[in-house]
């Protein structure tokens, strides 16, 4: 369910972000990663990084603020295209594995072990956090902000 919500909320947010001028989109608006673009880049980087940990193919990156895609339209497309990787992972993972632990290396290259399912929930919660930041930025800039609460997804 959370993978479906993740995709649904990303689609809603990116639809609104598409109406934002380049000046507003690329300008620093006080978000942790500066701009809407910087925050979306971080969301994509985090999504790819965590997925790599789940499939034991870690993604190398220089920093959590690394720009992985400069073009705003290509970035939006990559975020949307990631939907299938989470459904594939979930559908191909046994209940036994999901009930276990995930072993991986942190961004500081330290070994870590966390509950598998809890870590998956973290991935989707992390994206919700940043979608909320972007939503607040949209409102502050005078744009529409979508209703992305989980309950609205559950009603669809």
Alpha helices in 18-108 (DSSP H): 22-26, 36-54, 72-81, 83-92, 95-98
pLDDT of residue 93: 97
Q: How far apart are CA 25 and CA 5, in angstroms?
A: 24
Map out the domains of the chain as residue ranges.
2-154
* CATH architecture, range 2-154: Up-down Bundle (1.20)
Ordered per-residue pLDDT tens for the chain, 156 residues: 999 999 999 999 999 999 999 999 999 999 999 999 999 999 999 999 999 999 999 888 878 888 999 999 999 999 999 888 999 999 999 999 999 999 999 988 999 999 999 999 999 999 999 999 999 999 999 999 999 999 999 999
Task: Identify the H or E element spanning 103.
Answer: strand 101-105
By the 8 A CB rule, do 75 and 45 touch?
no
Q: How far apart are CA 5 and CA 153, in angstroms?
A: 6
The Cα-based distances of 115 to 112, 118, 121 in angstroms read 10, 5, 10
> For residue 93, which phi and psi values (nearest 5 degrees)?
-105, 130
Matching residue, tokens 């972000």: 17
100-131 b/e (C-beta count within 10 Å ≥ 16 → b): eebebeeeeeeeeeeebbebbeebbebbbebb
* Collapsed DSSP state (helix, strand, coil) of residue 56: coil
**Dihedral sign computed on CA atoms, order 109, 2, 121, 17:** positive
């Amino acid at each position: 369910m959370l993978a479906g919500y993740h995709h649904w909320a990303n689609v809603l947010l990116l639809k609104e972000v598409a109406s934002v001028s380049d000046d507003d989109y690329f300008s620093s608006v006080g978000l942790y990663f500066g701009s809407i673009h910087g925050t979306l880049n971080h969301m994509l980087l985090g999504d790819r990084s965590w997925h790599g940990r789940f499939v034991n193919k870690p993604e190398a990156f220089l920093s959590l603020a690394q720009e992985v895609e400069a073009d705003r339209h290509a970035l939006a497309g990559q975020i949307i295209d990631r939907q299938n990787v989470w459904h594939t992972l979930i559908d191909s993972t046994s209940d036994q594995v999901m009930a276990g632990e995930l072993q991986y290396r942190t961004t500081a290259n330290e070994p870590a072990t966390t509950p598998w399912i809890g870590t998956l929930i973290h991935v989707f919660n992390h994206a919700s956090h940043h979608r909320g930041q972007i939503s607040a930025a949209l409102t502050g800039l005078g744009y529409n902000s979508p209703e992305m609460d989980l309950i609205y997804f559950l009603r669809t």
